[in-house]
Structure 1
Amino acid sequence: MKRRAVLSAAGVFTMASVVAGCRAHGVGSEVVPTLPATPLPIDGHEPLAAGPGQKWDIHGNAQRFTGNTFVSPIPRNSAFLHAQIKAQDRLRASAFSRHYVLTPYNSFHMTVLDGVNQDQLGTADWPTWMAHATSTVDTNIPFLRRLESARLDVPRTVTMRADGLRDMATGFIVALAPIDFATADALNRFRDQVTELLGLSRTGFGTYRFHSTMGYRLVKPLPSEHEEVHALQNEMTEYFAGDAGTVTVDPLAFNIFDDMLAFPQLTVL
């Protein structure tokens, strides 16, 4: 089975330089969200996904969070992506805009399988054969070599249906579900093969729900805000209907990330 390697093991100095090079050439970083000029007013709001050790600071700036993953990009010309952009625009115009940070639309994707991330290092969820690693960067090339030498059942055409927005009290995510049993089976078979091949954690494997993230909630909502937030959620759920109710995602790839703004591809599988 042929694979197009975007990055080979030869001549690699550091993965940090790869990410920096990708960004310098516009890979996965064409659109950067506008960030608040002043700190997010907390005023009774407790931080949720922001602060020390989180993916974002309280201003909505991306903090370093490294790892690798298997994702299928959302096609640029799809009605589904346009619905995602419409939903972002609606949230941006709402009273809750500064309670969230929005992800760049050119990075919209569906995660098929998590690789490893920095929080797993030194835990039982870290691959035992990579026990010598001192960071997620150390796993990127060994993972790539195993993937390129394996005979994997990579799903070639994956169509998903929109399954509503997840609770906006905790995030800004549209849920996705396989369009039919054959698609679900192909995705699960691939996930199982790669998990075994790379010794990845099976924590939450059987309960994983596919999705595409449009943004992160930085602070918890106040009780008085729940009704209005859920009304906004119901309004935006309607955007994902008709042609935008399904999406055939782009080919599956093995990606790295240094934060939640860009996901450069190491290889298309």
Structure 2
Amino acid sequence: MISTDATTRRHVLAAIACGLLPPRAGGADTTQGVGRKFNASGTAMPFRGNTIIIPLDSGSAAATLMGSLHDALADSPIARQLALLPVSSFHMTVFEGVNDHERTPANWPAALPTDTPIDTVTQYATHMLASAPFDYPQPIVMRATGLKITARGIGLRVTGFDHAQETAIRRLRDEIATRLAIHRPNHARYGFHMSLAYTIAPLPPRAASRTQAHINTLLAEAVQQQRPLPLGAPRFCTFDDMLAFKPLAPLPRQT
């Protein structure tokens, strides 16, 4: 069970991410991600778009594991260099839709001009996704493979629990890409993950190394024992920033 102190820490970090608390003290240096999804004080910036994700159900194995990692990062020596995401936003992305910052042909439906308003693209995608059911397992089962702290951000790396699960979710991505006519160059290389935080200031090397070692210890058992992380149905969602995802509809599934 999550302690009251742990819950309080989560609320504090979420408040910082929302800009409800004073900015972090410290250097003015920025990182690659600053100015796009978050600013240097940890406030979420406007970032509108749509996506297909699997939200993590409260109390699930995946949510519990992510919660423990979130708490460890909140207590870590690099906490003030991070914009930790609220627990309520935790998810695994199945397929990236579109957003206002990446209006290029490779990141946009081929049938629509790249200056099409986001709301119009969402209507188009809703229609295309609902036109026929998809073939995917329930539950979709993943397993953790590790976590790496980077200058861009932090996320739990996951993969299909076995070959059949990995093949099924990759096939689902292929079908969605075909249906939406979005064909990114890195489509086949996409690494599944569950985001925990964005880096908003340079990471002190020693502090980052200590944090990485602690996280590796926390994850060791789950990774080595290949513990299953069952997930629910993918959902088509919209977002205004990285703090919350509004579900529009579950991805239709063949029965």
Is the TM value for this pair above 0.5?
yes
Q: Whole-Å Cα distance in 2 between the matches of residues 192 and 186 of structure 1?
A: 10
Partner of 2:15 in structure 1? 34
Query: Please, which of 240, 250, 258 is the counterpart of residue 240 of structure 2?
Result: 258
Q: Whole-Å Cα distance in 1 between the matches of residues 174 and 74 of structure 2?
A: 38
Runs of 4+ in 1 over 6 A off after TM superposition: none
Q: Pick which of 235-244 and 70-79 moved more.
A: 235-244
Deviation (angstroms), 1:143: 0.8
Identity %: 29
Deviation (angstroms), 1:122: 4.5
Task: Provide TM-score, normalisation by structure 1.
Answer: 0.79
User: What are structure 1's unaligned runs of at least 5 residues?
Assistant: 1-29
Partner of 2:193 in structure 1? 211
Query: Please, which of 148, 154, 173 is the counterpart of residue 130 of structure 2?
Result: 148
Partner of 2:59 in structure 1? 77
Do 1:32 and 1:261's aligned partners in 2 also have CA atoms closer than 8 Å?
A: no
Q: Whole-Å Cα distance in 1 between the matches of residues 91 and 83 of structure 2?
A: 17
Q: Say whether residues 1:267 and 2:224 are aligned partners.
A: no
Q: What CA RMSD, in Å, does the superposition of the two structures yield over aligned residues?
A: 2.5
Instruction: From the superposition, tell whether residues 178 and 171 of structure 1 become closer, same or farther in structure 2 (CA, over 3 Å).
Output: same
Deviation (angstroms), 1:242: 8.5
Do 2:61 and 2:230's aligned partners in 1 also have CA atoms closer than 8 Å?
A: no
Deviation (angstroms), 1:226: 4.2
Partner of 2:6 in structure 1? none
Q: Whole-Å Cα distance in 2 between the matches of residues 110 and 132 of structure 1?
A: 26
Do 2:236 and 2:250's aligned partners in 1 also have CA atoms closer than 8 Å?
A: yes
Deviation (angstroms), 1:156: 2.6
Q: Whole-Å Cα distance in 2 between the matches of residues 91 and 47 of structure 1?
A: 18
Q: Whole-Å Cα distance in 2 between the matches of residues 237 and 206 of structure 1?
A: 26
The AA in structure 2 aligned to 1:34 is A
Do 2:62 and 2:230's aligned partners in 1 also have CA atoms closer than 8 Å?
A: no
Q: Say whether residues 1:43 and 2:27 are aligned partners.
A: yes
Query: Please, which of 173, 183, 204 is the counterpart of residue 201 of structure 1?
Result: 183
1:16-31 aligned at under 5 Å gives the runs none
Deviation (angstroms), 1:164: 1.0
Q: Whole-Å Cα distance in 2 between the matches of residues 214 and 244 of structure 1?
A: 20
Query: Please, which of 99, 123, 128 is the counterpart of residue 110 of structure 2?
Result: 128
Corresponding residue pairs, total = 238
Deviation (angstroms), 1:133: 4.5
Deviation (angstroms), 1:145: 0.9
